[in-house]
Amino acid sequence: MLKVLVASSKGGCGKSTIATNLAAYSALKGKATVLADADRQGSSSRWCEKRADLSTAVLPIDATRKNWQQRIPVDAERVIIDSGAGIRVSEIAAILDDVDVIVVPVLPSVVDLEATLPFLNELATLPRIKKGKVPVGLVANRAKPWTNATQNALAEIGDWPFPLIAQLRDTQAYSLMNGLGRSIFDYHSEIVRSHQEDWAKLLRWLKKQG
């Protein structure tokens, strides 16, 4: 069972988008998938409810409740945890024993970079992360690679304490699909396939973690 925490101290960075798409990808690959929603807004849980009629449904768990880990089915193969908005490093430390890997979405803007770096520096001090037992990967989300702003942001992220493992281009498709309980992996048009390619590096990185 691989447990993936999608977390950031900065709200509005696309945590739920990444969490739901990772969950859908796993379910579409035939894995018994759980999406633990620790965000009180419940966006990921509502996404799961909209997907409930599909053969590739994802089981939602309310991770705002105590002892939510005990509700994970024993046959679950992949657990995606959508962290609460503005999560603190102390909160991550409290659940780190239940996490195999952490994905941190980052928006390529000055405001988001300044807000995220202190969080990452503090995250890097946690013993299990410092020892390399829990890998952390950064994902540049809603990137516009044709702009100087994104290029400058990516260059700055390159000096951060954790590796940049993927860049996801900005598109309204994610919002539209989320409203339907779907993901970028549920469709196969040429345009959608081009966005699926953005996920390839992230998916390979996660596969290496087990």
The HSE-up count of residue 206 (CA atoms within 13 Å, CB side) is: 27
CA distances to 54, 106, 183, 186 from 180, in Å: 12, 25, 9, 11
At 109, phi and psi to the nearest 5? -130, 155
**Strand 136-143 with 59-62, pairing:** unpaired
Q: Where are the beta strands (DSSP E) in the chain?
A: 2-6, 33-37, 59-62, 78-82, 101-106, 136-143, 164-169
Q: How far apart are CA 83 and CA 65, in angstroms?
A: 13
The domain locations on the chain are 2-208
The answer to whether residue 210 scores a pLDDT higher than 80 is no
This prediction's pTM: 0.94
The answer to whether residue 192 scores a pLDDT higher than 90 is no
Q: What is the pLDDT of residue 122?
A: 95
Give residue-wise pLDDT tens across range 78-124. 999 999 888 999 999 999 988 999 999 999 888 889 999 999 999 99
The answer to whether residue 147 scores a pLDDT higher than 90 is no
Q: How far apart are CA 108 and CA 167, in angstroms?
A: 10
CATH number of 2-208: 3.40.50.300
Q: Are 48 and 35 in contact (CB under 8 A)?
A: yes
SS3 state of residue 54: coil
Which amino acid, one-letter code, is at 49? E
Q: What is the pLDDT of residue 173?
A: 86
Q: How far apart are CA 206 and CA 210, in angstroms?
A: 7
Q: Are 164 and 151 in contact (CB under 8 A)?
A: no
Which amino acid, one-letter code, is at 187? Y
Q: How far apart are CA 195 and CA 172, in angstroms?
A: 11
Which amino acid, one-letter code, is at 125? T
- With cut-offs at 50, 70 and 90, classify the pLDDT of residue 178: confident
Q: What is the pLDDT of residue 149?
A: 82
The radius of gyration of the chain's CA atoms, rounded to the nearest angstrom, is 16
Q: How far apart are CA 188 and CA 90, in angstroms?
A: 41
- Residue 42, C-beta contacts closer than 8 angstroms, at least 6 positions apart: none
Q: What is the pLDDT of residue 40?
A: 87
CA-nearest of 33, 39, 79 to 62 is 39
Give residue-wise pLDDT tens across range 42-78. 899 999 999 999 999 999 999 999 889 899 999 999 9
Q: What is the pLDDT of residue 10?
A: 82
